[in-house]
Amino acid sequence: MIGPRMEFNRFDVSTKELVWDDPAAWLEGFGIGPRGPVEVIDSDITTLSAAADKVIRVGGAEPYLVTIELQSSHETTLARTLWYRQVALDYRHDLPVLTVLVLLRKEANSPNLTGTYERRMPDGRFTNRYDYHVVRLWQENVEQFLSVGVGLVPLAPLTDVAEADLPQLVGRMAKRINAEPRPRAAKLWTATYLLMGLRYSDEMTDSLLEGIQLMQESTTYQKILREGRDEGRKEGLNQGRIAEAQRLLLLQGEIRFGVPDATTRSAVEATQDLERLERLSKHILDSDLHDWERLLDEP
């Protein structure tokens, strides 16, 4: 679903920072009101729930809280979890709470995410009713995310945009993002890179963002590259061990059973489980095995 560079904690931190850096832009982008002084505060419910540690507080004569949940994967009990978090926030701060669920890709969607969560008694009486706001990014107009605060610009490639239009879109994004101070622009490009990985291949994302020098300056992006190189080295080492185990199995089997035919050789070379290859090498010594077929039938 998500490649190695999309490890959850890295993605979560980067995208949540977009909200905390410019909360007013997110409220404007999703049409949340009434308006008032906006600040990011601690949720103070982390001991009760695995919720975000910060929420948006809108001040004024009638203050309220907004919690923005960015979701990239499908969760069967998501609506119930959001309800639990909202109740905890309401109880802790004694303020009305609006939850905005932003579904970042179609794989996170569910017909159960209607914007309302209800619980009833067997006789039909309500025990709970909870309303929340759902945003399905792939259905949203891209212009909406290019015209509000720059903190929403990294979401633009996940909106209702065709792949053929992506080069032009990235150019328009660059005009907005590169006008920001260099550290913030680097952070915005890194968030763009991570978010694009939810819909597009690594090759396409790398090609589209190849010339973005500011992204190269991002410490988060450099960390992603380092971890990617480390993963590549580990994968290469593992593949080398698998190839050597396959070679050893074929040599041992040839001594015991004779030269393997093409089908047998293909079956051995298709086995990528190192532990199984090592087990088969040991089983070759079993006295009750007399041919390749019996060996490869071993569970």
Banded pLDDT at 254 (limits 50, 70, 90)? confident
23 compared with 255, residue with greater pLDDT: 23
According to the model, what pLDDT value does residue 115 have? 95
Domain ranges of the chain: 4-220, 239-296
Helices (H), ranges, the chain: 8-21, 23-29, 78-93, 142-147, 166-177, 182-196, 202-208, 213-216, 219-257, 262-270, 274-283, 292-296
* 174-222 residue pLDDT tens: 999 989 988 888 888 888 888 888 898 888 888 888 766 555 555 555 5
Mean pLDDT calculated for residue range 120-127: 90
Count CA atoms within 13 Å of residue 193 on its CB side.
30
